[in-house]
Structure 1
Amino acid sequence: MTDQYTHGHHESVLRSHSWRTAQNSCAYLLSSLSPNMHILDVGCGPGTITADLTKFVPFGHVTGIERSAEDVLQKAREDAGAQGINNITYAIGDVLSLNFPDDSFDVVHAHQVLQHVSDPILALREMARVAKPGGIVAVRDTDFSAMTWYPESEGMSLWHTTHRQVARSNGGEPDAGRRLLSWALQAGLKRDQITASASTWCYSTSDEVHWWGSSWSERVLSSSFAASALERGFATQEILDNMSHAWKSWGSQPDAWFALLHGELLCKV
């Protein structure tokens, strides 16, 4: 099966993903970094995490790769240039067939990537292959079934079910967070060299829930998710409109709260 990125690169998706930083998305990794390291950031998207990682390796280098979105990478290059970052490179690349020699990087990192690929075990093998001996493979993925929110609504629950259906029809596994350790062991990584952990994102302030609700309200209608849901019969346009309204309504509630659980692995190669 050829995997397809469920979210796509619509502006609403990139706007949401640009909120991500090294601190809020890979805090579990940061204490393992040292100034001279070379890092590969797989599935870098708009590059905000990638650019942030350069601060932790000022005498090293960070390479960000994205499978096909050259326009997104070009914007990431421009943003890095505007910040005066000169130890960074962006390129097209596929985690299932990394175009780098063995033992190339001190750290190979992927945030919210393995949930979208059809063969996460092969992806982890490739990440381990290009990591230097003694290097680190670091992965973090959300777990959609573990998401929880309040107030509940029929539209939000329907979105949750439909999103998982679409993700699996695209070749991915939306409940990746709980599976990371199992995938790593199947990829041949050693259990005594793996540190498994979890962390959360939680949106609870009025500004946070308004931003999160508005983002998903737009993404439900405009991102690749919508096209896939319609094409494969998981939703009608009326259902998508109802989901979008449910997200917008949720984001306006004074008691709105949303939490996302993430699984995390640090694997020493």
Structure 2
Amino acid sequence: MTQAAQYTHGHHESVVRSHSWRTAQISCAYLLSSLTPNMHILDVGCGPGTITADLAKLVPEGHVTGIERSAEDVLQVARDQAAAQGISNITYAIDDVLSLSFPDNSFDVVHAHQVLQHVSDPVLALKEMYRVAKPGGIVAARDTDFSAMAWYPETEGIFLWRKTHIQVARANGGEPDSGRRLLSYALEAGIPKGQITASASTWCYSTAEEVIWWSSTWADRVLLSTFASTAVERGFATQENLDEMSRAWKFWGAQPDAWFSLLHGEILCRKG
């Protein structure tokens, strides 16, 4: 059995706050034109469920299943948010992308946003996602590439944060530069290249509101999330280093010319 990776971020309030910003429109635009109202969708690593809820609205005659490997607390957040919006065509459950409990050919779409970077075997994950997709169905994945992140002003404390984050993520069994590797993962999973469309897109934070929000979430996350405790326990950072990173995020967020860009790799695989 493949050993599961440890999730680098955990589900501290600062992490859930950040993830709750995500919508289908900003997180899986490359997929949306392929959706039809009666589709059944599996949303892998759904977190607080904001993308999942949006997908459910786009398939009103279908159904969306959102799964997390072990985070029942964040699934309850997702359930509560769906209920508050009156969305009834969603089910949330505990499941593992490395060994999905669903039968072959179960879903029209199998989707994962910023998930494969956190699993110990992304190739196996894609094999499982492909297995449970119906013939003619879609496997869609989008992932960040940490080494390709760019920001200005080029604050040294944020460079230290990125270096430390990459070290922690890899020590946890993940690959934080998975965005550039998605096509390679899919090919290694045995998906024919003719069935794969590979693309890229970005998030960019530049308005005052975006910059304040992005900097404040990370200023908290580097001190309070699972990343912080793991970085110290494994010797990748001291508490003083974490304090420096947090101050750097706050400083960056206060600059009038602050700008931050995240590159995402994307794959859309149509099952033959």
TM-score, length of structure 1 as denominator length: 0.99
Superposed displacement of residue 28, structure 1 = 0.3
| Distance in structure 2 (CA, Å) of the matches to 1:230 and 1:148 | 25
SS of the residue corresponding to residue 96 of structure 1 reads helix
Tell me what 1:115 maps to. 117
Deviations 1:144-163 (A, max 9, x none): 00000000121111001000
1:142 and 2:154 equivalent? no
| Distance in structure 2 (CA, Å) of the matches to 1:153 and 1:52 | 35
Tell me what 2:238 maps to. 236
Structure 2: which amino acid aligns with 1:223? Answer: S
Structure 2: which amino acid aligns with 1:17? Answer: H
| Distance in structure 2 (CA, Å) of the matches to 1:149 and 1:176 | 20
After superposition, the CA RMSD in angstroms is 0.6
| Distance in structure 2 (CA, Å) of the matches to 1:89 and 1:7 | 24
Structure 1: which amino acid aligns with 2:185? Answer: W
What 5-or-longer segments of structure 1 have no aligned partner? none
Tell me what 1:159 maps to. 161
- Identify which of 167, 171, 177 aligns with 1:175: 177
**How do residues 176-255 of structure 1 correspond to structure 2 at under 5 angstroms?**
176-255=178-257
Identity of aligned residues (%): 79
- Identify which of 126, 129, 134 aligns with 2:128: 126
Superposed displacement of residue 199, structure 1 = 0.3
Superposed displacement of residue 229, structure 1 = 0.2
Structure 1: which amino acid aligns with 2:212? Answer: H
| Distance in structure 1 (CA, Å) of the matches to 2:101 and 2:247 | 43
| Distance in structure 1 (CA, Å) of the matches to 2:230 and 2:4 | 14
Structure 2: which amino acid aligns with 1:43? Answer: G
| Distance in structure 2 (CA, Å) of the matches to 1:126 and 1:228 | 29
| Distance in structure 1 (CA, Å) of the matches to 2:85 and 2:104 | 31
- Identify which of 13, 16, 19 aligns with 2:15: 13
SS of the residue corresponding to residue 34 of structure 1 reads coil
SS of the residue corresponding to residue 155 of structure 1 reads helix
Tell me what 2:75 maps to. 73
TM-score, length of structure 2 as denominator length: 0.98
Superposed displacement of residue 170, structure 1 = 0.4
Tell me what 2:95 maps to. 93
Structure 2: which amino acid aligns with 1:214? Answer: S
| Distance in structure 1 (CA, Å) of the matches to 2:198 and 2:86 | 35
| Distance in structure 2 (CA, Å) of the matches to 1:111 and 1:2 | 18
Superposed displacement of residue 56, structure 1 = 1.1
Superposed displacement of residue 2, structure 1 = 3.3
SS of the residue corresponding to residue 198 of structure 2 reads strand
| Distance in structure 1 (CA, Å) of the matches to 2:15 and 2:156 | 23
Tell me what 1:63 maps to. 65
Superposed displacement of residue 123, structure 1 = 0.1
What 5-or-longer segments of structure 2 have no aligned partner? none
Deviations 1:177-206 (A, max 9, x none): 000000000001010011110000000001
Superposed displacement of residue 95, structure 1 = 0.5
Structure 2: which amino acid aligns with 1:46? Answer: P
Superposed displacement of residue 171, structure 1 = 0.3
Question: For this pair of structures, how many residues does the alignment match?
Answer: 269
SS of the residue corresponding to residue 101 of structure 2 reads coil
